[in-house]
Amino acid sequence: MQEKNVSRRGFIKWITGGGIVAFLASVFFPVVKFIIPPESGEANVSQVKLPFGRAEIEAEAKKSKTFKFGRSLGIIVATPEGELKALAAACTHLDCTVQHRPDLGIIWCSCHNGRYDLNGNNISGPPPKPLEQYIVNEVGDEIFVARETS
């Protein structure tokens, strides 16, 4: 068996190099973990039952409520005609949450003044495409919102 003779200088280089690698790993590991989003435990859904009813929507000052639709937000609006409209609540420009403006009769994104009609179509502003529209079914006092199948 052959013995390997390690010099003092080689040992110091090895310890210093290992310390530098450990330091860089301790700095960059949290940065990388922050940049990469964690896996979501929620599944994509095609239909949800809302935890509130029509009376609660109409009791709101804005005649609308937001709800969780799987991993994203939705907004349900009571129109002046008494119809319920459900749309994706993320603006198609930069994903800001939209809100109902009953005084203007529109869905409005406050981030960059994006405006949609109550069917989710663009009226003005920077949004490049309309909001996704959902199907609303009322069964008694319960409201079910479903994604359109195409």
Burial of 123 (C-beta count, 10 Å sphere; 0-12/13-18/19+): middle
Backbone Cα Rg of the chain: 27
The answer to whether residue 4 scores a pLDDT higher than 90 is no
How many Cα atoms occupy the beta-carbon half-sphere of 43 within 13 Å? 4
Q: Please enumerate in sequence order all residues whose Cβ is within 8 A of that of 14, keeping only pairs 6 or more positions apart, or say none.
A: none
The answer to whether residue 1 scores a pLDDT higher than 60 is no
Which residues on adjacent β-strands are paired with residue 100? 107
- CA 27, CA 30: separation in Å to the nearest integer? 6
The answer to whether residue 125 scores a pLDDT higher than 60 is yes
Q: What pLDDT does residue 38 have?
A: 79
Q: In which band, very low, low, confident or very high, does the pLDDT at 41 lie, cut at 50, 70 and 90?
A: low
Q: In which band, very low, low, confident or very high, does the pLDDT at 145 lie, cut at 50, 70 and 90?
A: very high
Q: In which band, very low, low, confident or very high, does the pLDDT at 42 lie, cut at 50, 70 and 90?
A: low
Q: What pLDDT does residue 121 have?
A: 93
The answer to whether residue 13 scores a pLDDT higher than 80 is yes
- CA 55, CA 138: separation in Å to the nearest integer? 12
The answer to whether residue 148 scores a pLDDT higher than 90 is no
Question: What tens digit of pLDDT does each residue of 57-108 get?
Answer: 999 888 999 999 888 899 999 998 989 999 999 999 998 999 999 999 999 9
Give the H/E segment covering residue 147.
Answer: strand 142-147
Q: How far is CA 147 from CA 12, 35, 125, 150, in A?
A: 64, 30, 26, 9
